Amino acid sequence: MSSRLVICRANGKECSVIVDTVVVGPFAANCYIVGSEATREGMIIDPGADAARIIETINRQGLDIKYIVVTHGHVDHLGALKEVREATGAEVCIHVDDSRFIREKPATTVFGDRYPSLSPPDNLLRGGDAIDVGDLHFLVLHTPGHSRGGICLLGHGVVFSGDTLFNYGIGRTDFPGGSHSQLINSIHTKLMILPDSTIVYPGHGPKTTIGTERRANPFVHGF
């Protein structure tokens, strides 16, 4: 599934944002390839599995990948990180509080499978940081609750919400480092303050909008 979003920027100019969605792995995680149509620079969000499909999508779009951003440290969002990193030479970015999930020695996950052996991340993110890709600019929102270092990326009328917010749902909070109250607070203070028209690209499932979730998501209805 692929879409192009033409967004008016503050200076009155328009830019075209490429958003390609690749659904990967047994947990059907969404990997996003995001790029600037003008500069052909891009980033990958959450390479959870199926590295060959992700790389094929990058090549089809003709993008020069600058960053690989991991919204949180669970294996269904970083399982293909090693192969994709090697293929692109891109810098790996993850919030400092989830950086422990990217480690040189493999480990067993809460799902019973294994984290791959990985080199340390290149960039440790914090809330308020910026990720610039060509003429595209995204703000890092720290949204803990599903994990301690969960993040969302906001820019150009869209938000990539990881496992913080789904279409009519929210992320699980029963894993180590999870907190239901913290997740709800993150959603209310970081996401529900956004315009209703903001398009939400979640870590699993179909895209939605902030307005739709404000009106109909049973976990956040009315905020």
Q: pLDDT value at position 14? A: 76
Q: pLDDT value at position 102? A: 86
Residue whose entry in the numeric block shows the structure tokens 């480990």: 107
Q: Tell me what the mean pLDDT of segment 128-140 comes to.
A: 96
Q: How far apart are CA 68 and CA 33, in angstroms?
A: 9
Percent of the chain residues past pLDDT 70, beyond the cut: 87
Taken as a whole, the chain contains a residue count of: 223
Q: What values do phi and psi take at 200, rounded to 5? A: -105, 120
The pLDDT confidence band at residue 196, using thresholds 50, 70 and 90, is very high
Q: Tell me what the mean pLDDT of segment 4-10 comes to.
A: 59
